[in-house]
Structure formats: structure tokens, C-alpha cells
Chains A and B, each alone.
Chain A
Amino acid sequence: MSATRTDGVFQALADPNRRQIIECLAGDGPATATGLAGRIGITRQGAAKHLAGLADAGIVTSTREGREVRFALRDGGLEPGAVWLRSVGDQWERRLSSLKRHLDV
């Protein structure tokens, strides 16, 4: 029943490294990929990949600060309702763009 709305979140949380990243962000606040990699014991590239996945699922947000990108937990990012709103909103934006392309040629 709830497969569509929570899929992204479950997928994001299925990986133990991602769960550790979330725990670090929840416990210690915003951090960079390098900082998180050091704390968890994985490569910076690995951390960056997980963070990108978490951002896609709407769980974390990123802000550029000078040469660094800091990641933080998004408010309400782990609530399935929030995930549903974002994914359904994105789908309609894509469909309505297609509608416009279809009509306004």
C-alpha cells in the first residue's frame, strides 16, 4: 500500500553507511562529505555518492559555502508524506512541461 510513497526513503535507509550518515547529521549537525567520510570510515567519493542518493530521496539538502558543500537533514525529509508531496509534484511538473511542448509548438 505504502510502497510508492516510502520507496525512496526505504531505499535510502537500506544501506548502513547511509544510516550512519543520517545519524551523524542528526547528532552533530551539518557536515561536508569529507568530514562525514572521516567519521564513518569510508572514502570521500563514497560519502559523496551516498549524500547524492539521500538528496534525491529528499532526506538531505546541500548548501555551497566557499569551496565546500555542506549537507544537512531536511526538515520533514524523513516523513513519507513530505516525500510523496515532492515526488508527485515533480511528476506533474514534468507532465505539464510535456503538455506545453505538445500544444505550444
Chain B
Amino acid sequence: MDEVTREVELDSDPERAWQAISEQSELSEWLGGEVTIDLRPGGDLRVREEDAERTGFVEEVDQGRRLSFWWSYRGQEATRVELEVTGHPSGVGSTVRVTESRPLAGLERELADITALATTV
């Protein structure tokens, strides 16, 4: 499955980093748009960018540690994003790791194959 992982080392402690990735006013500062998020499984997510909008929902919240959600532009493939905060053994700083994946991409191809097969029968 297509999957992208990136991470960043922060001077901030894990508590502060968690705030930055889970609160909508904080997310709006860096995610690339104005964010509204209902932080619970199934809660709505909306990211208003300059000329487009992504909508989605929260999948899972492991308070203070991990958050996953799905998002997509209108009518386009939905992708899954997981954000994770870890502290450093030294007790100073934290790491935020993000993974975005395309769990539906294979399904899309399979559906296309099935449709193609169905039209030839």
C-alpha cells in the first residue's frame, strides 16, 4: 500500500506537541488551512484551505499520544492520516511522526477490474 511517513523533532515537550496536533486553533496554525475538528472517533474534520476544502472524520484518539483521521477533497480519494507524539528518553523535546496512506487505492483498482470484467461478460 502507498504510504508516506515524515517526522519532526521538536524542542517542546510531548504535552505541548499533543496540543498542537489535536486542538483546532493549534492545527490551524500549521496544517495549511482553517481546521475544525471534533476530537472523538467519528467526529467531523474540516480543513478550509485558500481555494479548496478537505472534509473527513476522526478515526481514533489515543489521548496525548496518537490521533488518526481520514480526509479527502470533494469527490476524490479519501486517505488516512496518523499523527503520533513521542517523548524523548532524555525528557527534553518530542517527536511528531505522521503517516498518510491510501487504503482505498487498491480497492479502487479492484473495482475498476471488476467493472471491466462485468462489461465484457
Q: Do A and B come from one complex?
A: yes
A binding-site residues for B, Cβ under 8 Å: 1-5, 81, 84-85, 88-89, 91-104
A interface secondary structure, majority: helix
Which of A3, A94, A102 is B29 in contact with, Cβ under 8 Å?
Answer: A102
B interface secondary structure, majority: mixed
**Residue total for B at the interface (Cβ-Cβ under 8 A):** 28
User: With A1-B108, A102-B29 in contact, do A92 and B77 touch (Cβ < 8 Å)?
Assistant: no
For the complex, what is the distance from the CA of A85 to the CA of B100, rounded to whole Å?
9
User: With A3-B76, A84-B102, A98-B29 in contact, do A103 and B11 touch (Cβ < 8 Å)?
Assistant: yes
Return the CB mask of B49-87 against A: 1 if under 8 Å, else 0: 000000000000000000000000101110100000000
User: With A3-B76, A4-B73, A102-B20 in contact, do A97 and B8 touch (Cβ < 8 Å)?
Assistant: yes
Cβ-Cβ contact count across A and B, 8 Å cutoff: 66
User: With A88-B100, A92-B6 in contact, do A1 and B77 touch (Cβ < 8 Å)?
Assistant: yes
Which of B2, B30, B77, B98 is A102 in contact with, Cβ under 8 Å?
Answer: B30
Q: CB distance B10 to A89 under 8 Å? A: no
Q: CB distance A1 to B11 under 8 Å? A: no
Q: CB distance B8 to A99 under 8 Å? A: yes
Q: CB distance A89 to B4 under 8 Å? A: yes
Which chain A residues lie closer than 8 Å to B2 at the CB level?
81, 84-85
Q: CB distance B4 to A100 under 8 Å? A: no
Q: CB distance B108 to A103 under 8 Å? A: no
Which of A4, A93, A102 is B6 in contact with, Cβ under 8 Å?
Answer: A93
For the complex, what is the distance from the CA of A102 to the CA of B25, rounded to whole Å?
12
Q: CB distance A103 to B20 under 8 Å? A: yes
Kindly report which residue of chain A lies nearest to residue B111, judged by CB atoms. Answer: A1
Residue of B30, B31, B77, B105 most packed against chain A (CB within 10 A) = B30
